[in-house]
Amino acid sequence: MRHRVAKKHLSRTASHLNAMRRNMAQSLIQHGQVETTLPKARETRRFVEKLITIARKGTIDSRRRVEALLRDRAIIDAEHQDKYDQMTDAQRHKVMFARSGRRHRTGAVPASYNKNKIPFVAQSVIHKLMTEVAPTYKDRPGGYTRIIRLAKRRIGDNGELAILQLVDPNEAPAAGGKKKAVGQRRARINARIAYLEGKKPRRKSGGKQGSAPQKVEPAADASSGDDA
């Protein structure tokens, strides 16, 4: 049964929704930020926060859990993207399918490759998450991403756009934050508890409209005495 499932479906099937979250999370880990619609950014943010929290442990079990959720793909670093675009198809195939390390693509060029022609190879997105992204947030208790709303709208359906990006690890987390919204039923319960405990409920400042202003008596004249 699918009752009370705490997530947005975004008019997609379960397989389509999971694939969308994985693809956007992989792009966010690779580039550091992605531009998408606001509902997609909010849904991807929850998924990425969970991935980074698991990857912070740095254990084999955490890596396997990340692989089960995120899957894997080969990525090219931003500093090598221009050289990769100028390569031939055969060289690109070697770059993308090079095996470095025991099981994972670590980004190290194999000894059998000609480093003059192929100075770099692709690395695993999970390897980058486990070795570069997650360790930088080791001392940060959550809040690894932020959503920035954009003024422009998407052409076609006029959807609201936003940028989902990873927070700078050196940036201090925001103090406090917004207060959690209290529902009407919870507000009535809190008011009833306060009444039973003898506490008077707070009234809104300003009073009711149309209420007469309070009269203020003038201060007595200090010079006036009983000699009148």
Longest dimension (CA), the chain: 117
Is 160 contained in some domain?
Answer: yes
CA angle 58, 49, 14 (to 5 degrees): 110
Is 222 contained in some domain?
Answer: no
Is 105 contained in some domain?
Answer: no
The number of folded domains in the chain is 1
Residue 31, domain CATH:
3.90.1030.10
More confident site: 129 or 102: 129
Domain range enclosing 140: 14-76+122-166
Is 117 contained in some domain?
Answer: no
Asked if 20 and 40 touch (Cβ cutoff 8 Å), the reply is: yes
Asked if 131 and 75 touch (Cβ cutoff 8 Å), the reply is: no
Mean pLDDT over residues 169-193, rounded? 77
Pairing of strands 145-153, 123-124: unpaired
Give the predicted TM-score (pTM) of the model: 0.69
Q: Return d(Cα 72, Cα 30) in angstroms, integer.
A: 12
Is 102 contained in some domain?
Answer: no
Is 107 contained in some domain?
Answer: no
Is 172 contained in some domain?
Answer: no
SS (H, E, C) 157-212: CCCEEEEEEECCCCCCCCCCCCCCCCCHHHHHHHHHHHHHCCCCCCCCCCCCCCCC
Give tens-digit pLDDT for 41-89.
999 999 999 999 999 999 999 999 999 999 888 889 888 899 999 999 9
Asked if 127 and 104 touch (Cβ cutoff 8 Å), the reply is: yes
- DSSP letters along 75-118, please? E--GGGHHHHHTS-HHHHHHHHT---SSSS-BSPPPTTS-TTT-
145 pLDDT higher than 90: yes
- Residue 176 token pair: 């406090």
Asked if 148 and 163 touch (Cβ cutoff 8 Å), the reply is: yes
Is 138 contained in some domain?
Answer: yes
